[in-house]
Structure 1
Amino acid sequence: MTTISAKLQAVLSRIETAARAAGRLPDEVALLAVSKTWPATRIREAAAAGQRRFGENYVQEGVGKTQELKLLNLEWHFIGPLQGNKTRPIAETFDWVHSIDRLKIAERLSAQRPAELAPLQVCIQVNVSGEETKSGVSLAQLAELARGVANLPRINLRGLMAIPAPSEDVAEQRRAFRALRDAYEKLQSDGYPLDTLSMGMSDDLEAAIAEGATVVRVGTAIFGERSGL
């Protein structure tokens, strides 16, 4: 068993344990392996161990990997900050985008999604901790953005994503994730057919799963620490 394979299994075991502790089924939580800065060889290792979903933060790097690994038929998620002048390669390449935080970006992705591809699956990023330096729409502006995104062609609004302020306090972790879940459930009650709560990473995935995460984004616990970062 390779190191990556062993680490993948350890993360999947954490997900299973956390899900069962929350009274949920393990298959209700998908693992997104965050492969940013890691070479395609590492992704091949993870794919050989059964991992299919991979997340990238940087446009040029991510597009290059999707092309290099095209024959593996992996599912590619863009999870990094979005710039208006870089939406076209994302729209033309990725299966999912988790980080929509303004309508202009969603409109560009919609217009640039090739007709021969399936609609782009998207999540709105919410700044649940109110951090000035972090991307994401505020909770107060979420409903308006969701309304605009949901009406666009060639993209499907699937859910919400958040990266709360880091905390070692499990109660604080859960409060932040609960705020996102509450917003998600409010949109569902308003008629949006959402099914995706993208929240939780290597250090807090248990708290996220306890609060209803359907996707956890894990990089370090699978691939290791990134040198120089």
Structure 2
Amino acid sequence: MTDRKAELAANLARVEERISTACAGAGRKREEVTLIVVTKTYPASDVRLLAELGVRHVAENRDQDAAPKAAACADLPLTWHFVGQLQTNKVRSVAGYAHVVQSVDRPRLVTALSAAAEKAGRELGCLVQVALDAEEGGRGERGGVAPDGVTELAELVAAAPGLRIGGLMTVAPLTGPYAGRERAAFERLMELSSRLRADHPAATMVSAGMSGDLEEAVAAGATHVRVGTAVLGSRPRLG
């Protein structure tokens, strides 16, 4: 085993232990939570090692890094998640490799994703990104739609050809009433998820929690956690 593979294996084991412990503390089964490794800024060689170590879900946030990496790893049994703010001029590229777009936050993006998915002959899972720092009718500092806009946007996704409404995503906000209150933020996301599932029963995915707050996300009920630094560690980055 190479030094890098050993490093990733040890980091994965630590993250796995954290998730398992959090699940036990919340009275949840370990299989209820899916680990997504955020491989942004790290090379395709790391993605290959992660796949060898059993990782099946990876995430990227910039198309210019993600597209060539996904192409280089096209032979691997991976599900690719796009988690960054997405400009409409990048949609055609992202629709070619992503299986799930977690950062859907405006109608124009829904329209563009639908057209690109149809052209590519693919179905894209979509999560509505919720900005818990946004004012009513607004958007968050790091993207996302305010809670009052979730229902309308989800309806647009559900009605769009080539798209499937999969659930909700959030990033713990740095400002506003939930700043520094990760558990409360994730519990609010779960409330919104319950409402969404009343109209869209298959939209069960709740993506929340990262390296620093995955325990709070698991405790609140998240189905997916997005972990980068805790798995990949410190390493010279791309670009």
What's the secondary structure of 2:40's corresponding residue? Answer: coil
Question: Cα deviations across residues 62-117 of structure 1 (Å, max 9, x unaligned)?
Answer: 01011111111311111000101110001111111100001111111111115665
The aligned residue for residue 92 of structure 2 is 88
2:219 to 210, 213, 220: 210
Instruction: Tell me if the contact between 1:129 and 1:176 (Cα under 8 Å) persists in the aligned partners.
Output: no
Residue 102 of structure 1: aligned partner: 106
**Runs of 5+ unmatched residues, structure 2:** none
Q: What pairs with 1:161-180 in structure 2 (closer than 5 Å)?
A: 161-166=169-174, 172-180=181-189
For 2:11 and 2:160, the matched residues in 1 are separated by: 39
Shift of the alpha carbon at 1:190?
Answer: 3.0
Structure 1 residues without counterparts, runs of 5 or longer: none
How far the C-alpha of 1:202 sits from its partner, in A, is 0.3
TM-aligned CA deviation for residue 149 of structure 1: 1.2
- Identical residues among aligned pairs (%): 38
Contact 1:101 1:135 (8 Å CA) reproduced = yes
Q: Does 1:62 align with 2:66?
A: yes
Comparing 188-197 and 6-15, the one that deviates more: 188-197
SS in 2 for 1:14: helix
Distance verdict in 2 for CA 1:178–1:7, change over 3 Å: same
Kindly report which structure 2 residues correspond to 1:187-226, keeping only aligned pairs within 5 A, or say none: 187-225=196-234
TM-score between the two structures when normalised by the length of structure 1: 0.93
CA deviations 1:50-70 (Å, max 9, x no partner) are 111110001021010111111
Which structure 2 residues correspond to residues 1-229 of structure 1 after superposition, within 5 A? Answer: 2-114=6-118, 117-130=121-134, 132-166=140-174, 172-225=181-234
Q: CA deviation at 1:34?
A: 0.2
**Cα distance, 1:191 vs structure 2:** 4.0
Shift of 1:132: 4.6
Change (3 A) 1:171 1:102: closer
Classify the secondary structure of the residue corresponding to 1:122. strand
Contact 1:149 1:157 in 2 (8 A): yes
Q: Provide the alpha-carbon RMSD of the alignment.
A: 2.2
Seen in structure 2, the aligned counterparts of structure 1 residues 136 and 58 have a Cα distance that, compared at 3 Å, is same
Q: Aligned partner of 2:230: which letter?
A: A
Distance 1:102 1:226, change over 3 A: farther
Deviating above 3 A after TM superposition, structure 1's stretches of 4 or more consecutive aligned residues are 114-118, 225-229
Q: TM-score, normalised on structure 2?
A: 0.89
